[in-house]
Amino acid sequence: MTMIKRAPVDRSSAKRQSGLAAIEFALVFVVLFLAVYGVASIGAVLYVQQVVSRAAEDGARAALQLSLDVSANDSRVQSAVYQSLASSSITPSVAGSSIASKLAWLKNNMPSSLITVDTSSPIQVMVKVAYPYGNNPIVPALPFTGIVLPPNLQGKATTAKPLP
């Protein structure tokens, strides 16, 4: 029986291999982190867009309940929009967790001019909501990534005026 002698293990090549693994991990981690961050950013924008659209629908529903008494830029419709926005999770954590504190934050940071009630048509009422997402993003933009967040997200809803 012949014995095969192995070459002695070079300790320096083992150290080089562990250094290579660290470099590979760093490169893969960066790519995976950016992919997960991109998905989270897009998901946050889509969520806020849905909330803004729902708030416009709630405003249109409030205008419908007011029937013929609704006027242009009606504060009652704007209150319904603010209430709808406050019941979601789009406000920053500094706004607090109660609906009342979120409502106060929204009224201070989102001017009522971003909520318009258009009654110029004889047969319909249109409610438009613009939310300043660029000032209050859910997931902040990373520097040097080139990810551009939309400055405003808009929702629009229309309801028919009841016949007299």
The DSSP result for 81-117, as a single string, is HHHHHHTSS-S-GGG-SSHHHHHHHHHHHS-GGGEEE
* pLDDT higher than 70, residue 145: no
CB 82 within 8 A of CB 72: no
The predicted structure's pLDDT at residue 7: 61
* pLDDT higher than 70, residue 53: yes
* pLDDT higher than 90, residue 128: yes
Give the angle subtended at the CA of 132 by the CAs of 129 and 138, to the nearest 5°.
115
The predicted structure's pLDDT at residue 14: 58
The predicted structure's pLDDT at residue 106: 93
Q: How many CA atoms lie within 13 A of 46 on its CB side?
A: 6
The predicted structure's pLDDT at residue 112: 87
* pLDDT higher than 70, residue 33: yes
Q: Token pair of 90, please?
A: 């789009």
The predicted structure's pLDDT at residue 144: 74
